[in-house]
Structure 1
Amino acid sequence: MSGVTPLVFITGASSGIGQALARQWRGQGWRVALVARRGEVLRQWVLAQGWTTEQAQVYEADVRDTAQLLAAAQACIDRQGLPDVVVANAGISIGVDLSLAEDLPVLRDLYETNVLAVAATFQPFITPMVLRGSGVLVGVASVAAARGLPGHAGYCGSKAAVVAMCETLRGELQGKGVQVLTLTPGYVATPLTAENDYPMPFLMQPEAFAAKAVRAIEARRRFVVIPWPMGVVYRLLKAMPVALFDRVVGAQQHRKKRRRPAAQ
């Protein structure tokens, strides 16, 4: 890779955090490989940025379709080379009521998008990165991974799974030259948070989040919560005794967002 402009592969790149990360890395001279279900929307956005095909390539894939995602990864390797950084960013947030049978398919969609797609995003790059002896895999989790919140069984559970998956993979790849980072956002102003009907402390704009995230990735942080005050909240939630946590969250009955198309 010596002398080659570095490359980042980002899923969920058609809006929000994904687009902000792409702009941040392009501003630093990186090439970008962008994956989204809405391929044409993403291609138009790339054109509007004035990026050339040497600087950016778009790969259309629904991350819930493993075959499509693996094909996108292989196409990236064939066209642009093996990425230096891979960011599994695609995700959805939908309320789930576990007492309703009709919400079980919603739960499946959440886990397919937020968990299985992270594994499928990483898988094609792990062995090539190990053989090269370098690379960074970034899983985007959430502060919601800290504890289960009323109305959000699917989102909290799926993001907790991302944290555990990245931690496992970090141990498996230790000493092999490949870093694994768990990127844990607080509230970021994206389509995923636009419909939230409750207070969102320390809400960040995507560009501000992306700048801090890229710095954390460059520093090879293992686990980072952005912004830092939400890191304090995360640690407090994790440390809170079960009985106290149950009393606190029992009063928090958020209205659940109903099913809507995946934000990728």
Structure 2
Amino acid sequence: MTQSDGNGLRVFLTGASSGIGMAIARAYAAQGAVLGLVARRGAELEALRQGLPGAHRHRLYPLDVTDHVALQAAADDFIDALGGADVVIANAGISQGTLTEFREDLAAFERIMAVNVTATFATFTPFVAHMKAWPEASRRRCRLVGIGSVAGIRGLPGAGAYSASKAAVISYCESLRVELRDTGIRVVTIAPGYIDTPMTRVNPYRMPFLMAPERFAERALQAIADGRSYRVIPWQMGLVAKLLRMAPNWLYDAVFARAPHKPRNL
């Protein structure tokens, strides 16, 4: 499957109403894919659909991904209407600075884990058994895509919940990738660096290699089409991620102990 093969793809995407999700939706629609778009904000979803090629073909599911019953119903509707999904992207995510010393931050920690981690599992679950029942040639077209982050490579100060959630997504997708290795279904982990979205615009610090969401989407779609197991975008942040993984704890701690923190209240 090449990047030009978007025509005819059935894509189910969470977190579609803004940022990375919106850019991915627009990129797939431009290739001729039929989309199932999930997000909490129904008005924004409808506005997105109206601006997409073939607007009438795309299905909208305004819901909170932590509502697993509603998410299952949306997946079932998409499968019933279109016969299944070729690409499922668990993109919904939130970020907020958290500090363990503040008891009131526990609610934010739990919410971040529920949206970023548990909802990834809940997004994939309805599709896996359905995909596994397909003939081998069709299964090899299937992609389950988890959106991690460079923030999941090492724990960032003041972002314990977000770093933990993205580390969990990376590890979970790795487990799922191994589980499904013999089925032909590809599990793809995309780890964005700094992408110019509403989530990052509140950061009160310099963001190296900041990338426009449209450029990110272009590279993400290619990685998904190629069935890449793991891809950091942009590539410069991939080099940074490798260095972070190799750095000894004493060096990492010394460098990042004074790093600026993400705001606690967004």
In structure 2, the partner of 1:88 is 90
Which residue in the other structure is 2:223 paired with? 216
Residues 170 and 50 (structure 1), Cα distance of their counterparts in 2 relative to 1, 3 Å cut = closer
Tell me, what secondary structure is at the counterpart of 1:207?
helix
Structural mapping, 1:225-236, within 5 Å? 225-236=232-243
* 8 Å CA contact 1:183, 1:213 repeated in 2: yes
Q: Give the C-alpha shift of residue 57 in structure 1.
A: 1.1
Distance 2:62 2:172 in 1: 25
Aligned partners of 1:51, 1:15: CA distance in 2, in Å?
A: 19
Matched, 1:48 2:55: no
Could you tell me which residue of structure 2 aligns to residue 69 of structure 1? 71
Give the corresponding residue for 2:178: 171
1:142 and 2:149 aligned: yes
Query: How far off is 1:236 after superposition?
Result: 0.6
- Confirm whether residue 59 of structure 1 aligns to residue 22 of structure 2: no
Say which of 15, 20, 31 aligns to 2:18: 15
Contact 1:195 1:257 in 2 (8 A): no
- Following superposition, the deviation at residue 174 of structure 1 comes to 0.8
Q: Aligned match of 1:201 in 196, 208, 213?
A: 208
Q: Does the CA-based 8 Å contact 2:29-2:53 persist in structure 1?
A: no
Conservation of the 8 A alpha-carbon contact between 1:136 and 1:180:
yes
Partner Cα separation in structure 2 for residue 6 and residue 212 of structure 1: 17
CA distance in 1, matches of 2:188, 2:253: 30
Determine the C-alpha separation between the residues in 1 that align with 2:76 and 2:100. 38
TM-score by length of 1: 0.94
Deviation, 1:130, is 1.1
Q: In the alignment, does 2:28 pair up with 1:25?
A: yes
Q: What code does the residue aligned with 1:111 have? A: M
1:100 equivalenced with 2:102 (yes/no): yes
Deviations along 1:7-50, one digit per CA (max 9) or x if unpaired, are 11110000011111111111111111111111222112211335
CA 1:50–1:220: 2 relative to 1, 3 Å: closer
Q: 2:4 maps to what in 1?
A: none
Gaps of 5+ in 2: 1-6
Is 1:122 the equivalent of 2:129? no
Partners of 1:182 and 1:158 in 2: CA distance: 14
Q: Judging changes above 3 Å, is the alpha-carbon distance between structure 1 residues 28 and 49 closer, same or farther for their aligned structure 2 residues?
A: closer
**Partner of residue 112 from structure 1, selected from 111, 114, 121:** 114
Does 2:247 correspond to 1:237? no
Query: Pairwise CA RMSD of aligned residues?
Result: 1.2
Cα offset for 1:97? 0.8
Pair 59,255 (structure 1): closer, same or farther in 2 beyond 3 Å: closer
Whether the 8 Å contact between 1:60 and 1:72 is mirrored in structure 2 is no
Note closer, same or farther for the CA distance 1:84–1:220 as it changes in structure 2 (3 Å cut).
Answer: same
The alignment partner of 2:263 has SS state of coil
Per the TM alignment, residue 243 of structure 1 is displaced from its structure 2 partner at its CA by 0.9
C-alpha distance in 1, partners of 2:189/2:249?
Answer: 25
TM-score by length of structure 2 reads 0.93
How many correspondences in the alignment? 255
- Residue 24 of structure 2 aligns with an amino acid whose one-letter code is L
**Shift in alpha-carbon separation, 1:233–1:9, aligned structure 2, 3 A:** same
Distance 1:38 1:119 in 2: 21
Unaligned runs of 5+ in 1: none
In the alignment, residue 223 of structure 1 is paired with which amino acid? Y
